[in-house]
Amino acid sequence: MIQNVFVIMPAYNAGKTIERVFDRIPEDARRRIVRYVVVDDGSKDDTAAAILRLQARFPNLVALRHEVNRGYGAAEKTLLTYALSEGAAAAILLHSDGQYSPEKIPEMLEPFDSDTADIVQGSRMLGGGALKGHMPLYKFIANKGLTAIENLAFGLHMAEYHSGYMAYNRRAMESIPFLKLSDSFDFDLEMIVMAKVKGLRLREIPIPTIYAGEVSNLKPIRYGLRVLSVVKDYKLGKYDAL
């Protein structure tokens, strides 16, 4: 069983949701988590106050802060750098808006426990639950279309590339030059691409799809164009050169 598990969390204007996310972390997961690390990425609401309240309940919660919003990928870079420097054996990326299930943390860790993966992604497309979970139809169609293009380009067979529920073991964190990757929402996709380039083992596990009126900072058209840019850069050998 893998030890020294960190939960890392980017938080931007998450004052209304972040405490509920922590409330949902199951007890069997809490027993395994050595440290929670949250980076407040220049929030303009009461995220900082919510984090302070959480620290009173979770003494192993470390709060980091970007004074100005630097972007989702930049927040992940800060979190992964911290996790590496503090000796994390595994880091689970949990979002602060509640769209990814904390209840699935034990299942996200299983491939690490059995040493069958270096990166684990929680996939909404496995098990056919995306539409049942009220994923908007246009997002479902776009996800399927982009995934088909990506599988063809990368030579993989993933159910999707666009879930942000990711977990990395230490080998992945040390092998991938993540500081050279995007500061935006395509960071997770680039991590998967780099896993392919570095010969790391990828696993997907099914997770429920949750859409309950949360406010997303992701702009779908801009994100789709970024995805296609990653595909182009992969084919041009950019990631082999990193």
pLDDT at 136: 80
**Closest of 101, 134, 132, 135 to residue 205, by C-alpha:** 101
**Quick one: average pLDDT of 14-24?**
97
Hey, which residues does 66 pair with through a beta bridge? 41
Is the pLDDT confidence value at 147 over 90? yes
Residue 149 phi/psi, 5° resolution? -65, -45
pLDDT category, 120, cuts 50, 70, 90?
very high
Is the pLDDT confidence value at 213 over 60? no
The mean pLDDT of the chain is 94
Distance CA 37, CA 92 (A): 10
Higher-pLDDT residue of 127, 184: 184
Q: Which pTM value belongs to this model? A: 0.93
Pairing mode, if any, of strands 166-169 and 202-206?
A: unpaired
Q: Which structural domains are found in the chain, ordered by start?
A: 5-241 (3.90.550.10)
Of the chain, the percentage scoring pLDDT greater than 90 comes to: 86
Could you report how far apart the first and last alpha carbons of the chain are, in Å? 32
pLDDT category, 145, cuts 50, 70, 90?
very high
pLDDT at 117: 98
pLDDT at 221: 85
Token duo for residue 210 = 């949750």
Radius of gyration of the chain (CA): 17
Hey, which residues does 39 pair with through a beta bridge? 10, 64
pLDDT category, 139, cuts 50, 70, 90?
confident
**Quick one: average pLDDT of 164-180?**
98
Is the pLDDT confidence value at 209 over 60? yes
pLDDT at 212: 57
pLDDT at 236: 97
Of the chain, the percentage scoring pLDDT greater than 70 comes to: 95
pLDDT at 216: 57
Burial of 206 (0-12, 13-18, 19+ CB in 10 A): middle
Distance CA 197, CA 45 (A): 39
Distance CA 165, CA 122 (A): 5
Distance CA 227, CA 33 (A): 32
**Quick one: average pLDDT of 139-160?**
94
* 29-78 per-position pLDDT tens digit: 999 999 999 999 999 999 999 999 999 999 999 999 999 999 999 999 99
3-state secondary structure (DSSP) of residue 75:
helix
- Report which residue type is found at 105: I
Give the DSSP H or E segment for 40.
strand 33-41
Token duo for residue 37 = 């690390």
Helix H segments across the chain?
18-23, 27-30, 47-57, 72-85, 105-113, 137-154, 170-175, 187-198, 220-235
